Structure 1
Amino acid sequence: MAITSANQLELLQTAEAVAREKMIDPDLVIQAMEESLARAAKSRYGSELDIRVKIDRKTGRATFARIRTVVADEEVENHHAQLTVKQAKSYLSDPQIGDEVIDEVPPVDLGRIAAQSAKQVILQKVREAERDRQYDEFKDRKGTIINGVVKREEYGNLIVDIGRGEGILRRNEKIGRESYRPNDRIRCYIKDVRREARGPQVFLSRTDPQFMAELFKMEVPEIYDNIIEIKAVARDPGSRAKIAVISYDNSIDPVGACVGMRGSRVQAVVNELQGEKIDIIPWNQDQATFLVNALQPAEVSKVVIDDDAGKIEVVVPDEQLSLAIGRRGQNVRLASQLTGLDIDIMTEAEESARRQAEFAERTKLFMDTLDIDEMMAQLLVAEGFTNLEEVAYVEQDELLSIDGFDEGTAGELQARARDYIEEQNRKAIETARALGVDDSLFNFEGLTPQMIEALAKDGIKTLEDFATCADWELAGGWTTENGQRKKDDGVLEKFDVSLEEAQHLVMTARVMLGWVDPTELATETDDAEVDGDDEEEAEA
């Protein structure tokens, strides 16, 4: 197949047709043709030559040219594509390094193999241009809803025609009981748009929580106008969902606006989600109040929040337990996703039993350590005393406020508590020294003898050892593995050391050892305080 005048215009016509079909720039198709013809010419004249092809955009005439570049004498590597300055003088009047000598060569006669190779190059270039065009078009539409038409199904995944491109709806992104046939219309959420070498680039979803949020935005004008905001969404796709909303206009009820007249707005979303039941919940800045709302329709008696552990305990009436947990734990699981907290649900009977166990444990502690009778120990616990340190070092007036306690009784109790604590400290110091604890750790302010003993049993025996610890290793913490929160026990956790206190102790040790510049530490602290103030102002 020679490039003759008869088919020169066909190149332009072919380029226009391909560009129209693939919705890409015709110039990109012509560039692909130029590259494919150049590759075919190299196979004819020799791969070591630098052959370039230029197709005239008006006439379609293809010009084949051999290019040789002028280089320094010592840099000549390919005599077929490079010239020295001296050799170039035969072609150029004043050759300079970097100049090019261009010689036109006869057009090639494309054989069957060369033509097939040229066709593959053109197809590849056109495919790359098409993928670049699709990525550029959809990259800014991530996080929006798109309507498409099902083209085919591949291994359970749906290939969806989304206009100027294709998207993929993976099997795990479909609502469980949904089934589609080719040419069915489908509405999806653009979950991600990635530049991929092969395969799909637009990834769709119908199970993503934000899909439901976007559907509400389409159905509720107040959400679109930012009068109502969706603060959190949790879904069990195809079964049940919870959505938390807040209104910035006191005259508009956020729940009522989302439900609509006779439920018209929420019903439109439910129909799109194949009958998924939706609980619309008013969002509240107070975690406890928000959680009570999130656990609807169950009634909540009491909420106890543990900020350090990121957990929350909910007490419900005995008859409300199954309703609060929901079928297969669905209700409490969705409420947990909505609030971002681990939720432990217990009945009032279970909570009462736990309180009684704690009361009995503390009563026994005071009876054993202070050598007092059960009634007096129970009085101390009832007044809120939880450990010996509180009894030993509290203001005596607090003890005197307990019925039946006079100055003599209060003084004796405090004396016994201090004696016991001092004895325990002495034993802890002896144990720590026996384990080889260095004086540097004993002299470090902020650690009690019992803490030092616990550290020694864990192999931390010097100030250097202590300074290498992470705050969570001392105070304990929580990590998430495979979606499950896991408790990490801390060496000093039983002494009620918080993460902030542990961090302060470790940083103080590092400063004392010269590992950290105290001025830099002070600067970081000031910056953190400024950031915190800015956040508070923004919230206000």
Structure 2
Amino acid sequence: MEAVAITRTDMLNVADAVAREKGIDRELVLEAMEQAIQKAGRSKYGHEHDIRAAIDRKSGEIILARYLEVVDEVENEVTQLTLDQARAKKPDAQVGEFLVDPLPPIDFGRIAAQTAKQVIVQRVREAERERQFEEYKDRIGEIVNGIVKRVEFGNVTIDLGRAEAVMRRDECIPREHLKRGDRVRAFIYDVRREQRGPQIFLSRTHPTFMAKLFGQEVPEIYDGVIEIKRVARDPGSRAKIAVLSHDNSIDPVGACVGMRGSRVQAVVAELQGEKIDIIPWNEDEATFIVNALAPAEVAKVVMDEDASKIEVVVPDDQLSLAIGRRGQNVRLASMLTEFDIDIMTEEQESEKRQAEFNERSERFMAALDVDDVIARLLVTEGFTEIDEVAYVPVDELAAIEGFDEDVAEELRRRARTFLEEESTRLKQELVDLGITDDLSSVEGLNNAMLVALGREGIKSLEDFAGCVADELTSREDGILREFKLSDETATDMIMQARVAVGWITQEDLDAMNAGEVEGAEEEGGVEAPAGA
């Protein structure tokens, strides 16, 4: 068998070379070598023995020894010995002490050398990954340059020079074909430890990637004069970016576009031709929504802030432009403004308003037992619900043209009578449906809502805790759609029900809410790069 001779100086030189090449601590390399020698020693003298190796850090001398523990009662004769046996070798030996038997240096045979190499390579790789993690964990949010090393099933491995990173298929721009050797810029969105070691995750589809690219191309963003408020992307196709200038003399849109479009075109080229709409940010939500729907012209905006929903009315010839190809324009505008946007033409809006007017008029006619003239007058004056009529001041009701105080008082009396009868009917229906007291105690649910839930088989707090927000609020078939409940409010009520039935704790809920807020800050408000 061929022997491998390694001199003392070689040992230290190899450790120094590996440490320099891999950018890791020399001590880690020497420890890996010690483990390799130790493993080879156990292979030669027996795995059952406690054999340890040490390399002198100055001379490079390899010290190999067998360790025997001094114990009161021997359980393992190979690694332990009694106090009497120990004192025969060393008179002052004590229980708990280790006796060290030096062993002759071993020549590394082919198999032993191969095993030692595997141990060293494994330990060095682990140390290298740890170094990469420590180096890159604080670089989340940066843009890095790298070279494509390999592409497997759409997932791209990128060599960053001192580390390797992964760009998964869904983080690559669609229809962008990267191949080995290509130079690529990407955004570090996560660095985390995984089973196979620390991993650096890159993205070219992340909204912040676009913000960082603008930060590199537009000096005003880098300096903080212009702030990128929000970004919405359909990667590889189209994007909208909202910008705000902190200096009234600087036009944020013009600064981002650049002379003859040079700045925005540089970003477009990097993103494989992705069209970018640059939108001026406005604190007034209605104005911002109008801006976000550009290039379409908007005739009217009707907001429902509680439900985070909005209706936008456009001229007939602007409908297709406002919606965009496959709904892209309105979808991006919704992402940018964080509102659900419904687009309708002026004709559709007129028909909808007329239908709502007729529906409310009929409701007043049935509840108050009045003719259509009085009902239409009430709707025209802005009354939408029976309780508004029941508790409005008399003089306000009497001020309606054609009404006097007697008519106003009579309308209020009829409205209150209707509400009392309706309340009695709902309470009885709650009993008939078998709605439990714990469900009735959920904050935000009134009797009418409880009846609607009961009719759909949701009769206990546990039933309600098993719901999801869309099941309650969906415009098409939501159980509570007529009550115009927002998704956020519905989610809050469901989560509180889950706490009440013991599915989660309040601490879990608080932690989840804190995580959502942090995620929203990262996704929504995109800060200008500090040092792109």
TM superposition score normalised by structure 1 = 0.81
Residue matched to 1:136? 134
Residue matched to 1:67? 67
- Give SS of 1:195's match: strand
Structure 2 residue 346 is the aligned partner of structure 1 residue 348: yes
Q: CA shift at 1:3, angstroms?
A: 6.7
Residue matched to 1:305? 303
Residue matched to 1:227? 225
1:12 & 1:438 partners in 2: Cα distance? 77
2:408 & 2:120 partners in 1: Cα distance? 95
Q: CA shift at 1:332, angstroms?
A: 0.9
2:449 & 2:266 partners in 1: Cα distance? 61
- Counterparts of 1:504-523 in structure 2, within 5 Å, are none
CA pair 502-159 structure 1, distance change in 2 beyond 3 A: closer
CA pair 195-407 structure 1, distance change in 2 beyond 3 A: closer
Alignment root-mean-square deviation, CA: 3.8
1:385 & 1:303 partners in 2: Cα distance? 21
Residue matched to 1:407? 405
Q: CA shift at 1:500, angstroms?
A: 7.5
Residue matched to 2:173? 175
CA pair 261-108 structure 1, distance change in 2 beyond 3 A: same
- Whether the 8 Å contact between 1:477 and 1:490 is mirrored in structure 2 is no
- Give SS of 1:194's match: strand
CA pair 120-438 structure 1, distance change in 2 beyond 3 A: closer
CA pair 202-330 structure 1, distance change in 2 beyond 3 A: same
- Counterparts of 1:463-482 in structure 2, within 5 Å, are 477-478=469-470
Q: Give the counterpart letter for 1:100 in structure 2.
A: F
Structure 2 residue 248 is the aligned partner of structure 1 residue 250: yes
Residue matched to 1:273? 271
Q: CA shift at 1:325, angstroms?
A: 0.9
- Give SS of 1:89's match: helix
Residue matched to 1:42? 42
Q: 2:319 aligns with which of 314, 321, 344?
A: 321
- Whether the 8 Å contact between 1:367 and 1:374 is mirrored in structure 2 is yes
Residue matched to 2:393? 395
- Whether the 8 Å contact between 1:298 and 1:324 is mirrored in structure 2 is yes
2:448 & 2:65 partners in 1: Cα distance? 87
Residue matched to 1:20? 20
Q: CA shift at 1:406, angstroms?
A: 2.2
- Whether the 8 Å contact between 1:309 and 1:478 is mirrored in structure 2 is no
Structure 2 residue 143 is the aligned partner of structure 1 residue 145: yes
Q: CA shift at 1:487, angstroms?
A: 8.3
Q: 2:280 aligns with which of 269, 272, 282?
A: 282
Q: Give the counterpart letter for 1:236 in structure 2.
A: D
- Give SS of 2:250's match: coil
2:438 & 2:181 partners in 1: Cα distance? 77
- Counterparts of 1:453-472 in structure 2, within 5 Å, are none
2:266 & 2:12 partners in 1: Cα distance? 50
1:449 & 1:364 partners in 2: Cα distance? 23
Q: Give the counterpart letter for 2:104 in structure 1.
A: P
Q: 1:126 aligns with which of 124, 127, 130?
A: 124
Q: Percent identity?
A: 58
Q: Give the counterpart letter for 1:142 in structure 2.
A: I
Q: CA shift at 1:446, angstroms?
A: 10
Residue matched to 2:523? none
Residue matched to 2:383? 385
Residue matched to 1:531? none
CA pair 488-51 structure 1, distance change in 2 beyond 3 A: farther
CA pair 277-368 structure 1, distance change in 2 beyond 3 A: same
- In structure 2, list runs of 5 or more residues that go unmatched: 501-505, 511-532
Q: Give the counterpart letter for 2:383 in structure 1.
A: F
CA pair 375-232 structure 1, distance change in 2 beyond 3 A: same
Mean CA deviation greater in 185-194 or 92-101: 92-101
- Whether the 8 Å contact between 1:48 and 1:80 is mirrored in structure 2 is yes
2:444 & 2:273 partners in 1: Cα distance? 59
- Give SS of 1:64's match: strand
2:313 & 2:303 partners in 1: Cα distance? 11
Residue matched to 1:56? 56
1:284 & 1:118 partners in 2: Cα distance? 66
1:28 & 1:136 partners in 2: Cα distance? 15
Q: Give the counterpart letter for 1:85 in structure 2.
A: L
- In structure 1, list runs of 5 or more residues that go unmatched: 512-519, 525-540
CA pair 345-10 structure 1, distance change in 2 beyond 3 A: same
Residue matched to 1:517? none
CA pair 345-13 structure 1, distance change in 2 beyond 3 A: same
2:362 & 2:330 partners in 1: Cα distance? 36
- Whether the 8 Å contact between 2:51 and 2:64 is mirrored in structure 1 is yes
- Give SS of 1:296's match: coil
- Give SS of 2:7's match: helix
2:78 & 2:373 partners in 1: Cα distance? 107
Q: Give the counterpart letter for 2:135 in structure 1.
A: E
CA pair 56-294 structure 1, distance change in 2 beyond 3 A: same
CA pair 2-266 structure 1, distance change in 2 beyond 3 A: same
Mean CA deviation greater in 205-214 or 87-96: 87-96
- Give SS of 2:360's match: helix
Residue matched to 1:207? 205
2:188 & 2:63 partners in 1: Cα distance? 46
2:437 & 2:205 partners in 1: Cα distance? 60
CA-to-partner distance for each residue in 1:52-90, whole Å, 9 max, x for gaps?
11123343321211112334x14x432222234343323
- Whether the 8 Å contact between 1:309 and 1:477 is mirrored in structure 2 is no
Q: 1:184 aligns with which of 182, 185, 191?
A: 182
CA pair 436-141 structure 1, distance change in 2 beyond 3 A: closer
Q: CA shift at 1:93, angstroms?
A: 4.5
1:50 & 1:187 partners in 2: Cα distance? 51
CA pair 456-326 structure 1, distance change in 2 beyond 3 A: closer
CA-to-partner distance for each residue in 1:368-420, whole Å, 9 max, x for gaps?
33333222221111011223222233222122111111233333333333343
Mean CA deviation greater in 495-504 or 292-301: 495-504
1:445 & 1:38 partners in 2: Cα distance? 67
CA-to-partner distance for each residue in 1:443-467, whole Å, 9 max, x for gaps?
9999977567667657788xxx67x
- Whether the 8 Å contact between 2:137 and 2:191 is mirrored in structure 1 is yes
CA-to-partner distance for each residue in 1:18-37, whole Å, 9 max, x for gaps?
33332323332222121111
Residue matched to 1:162? 160
Residue matched to 2:293? 295
1:132 & 1:159 partners in 2: Cα distance? 18
Q: CA shift at 1:295, angstroms?
A: 0.9
Q: Alignment length, in residue pairs?
A: 497
1:164 & 1:447 partners in 2: Cα distance? 58
CA pair 419-502 structure 1, distance change in 2 beyond 3 A: farther
- Give SS of 1:186's match: strand
Q: Give the counterpart letter for 1:283 in structure 2.
A: W
CA pair 479-14 structure 1, distance change in 2 beyond 3 A: farther
- Give SS of 1:246's match: strand
Report which structure shows greater RCO (CA 8 Å, sep ≥6). 2
Q: CA shift at 1:442, angstroms?
A: 10
Q: CA shift at 1:167, angstroms?
A: 1.9
Q: CA shift at 1:440, angstroms?
A: 11
2:441 & 2:178 partners in 1: Cα distance? 73
Residue matched to 1:196? 194
Q: Give the counterpart letter for 2:21 in structure 1.
A: E
- Whether the 8 Å contact between 1:150 and 1:184 is mirrored in structure 2 is yes
- Give SS of 1:415's match: helix
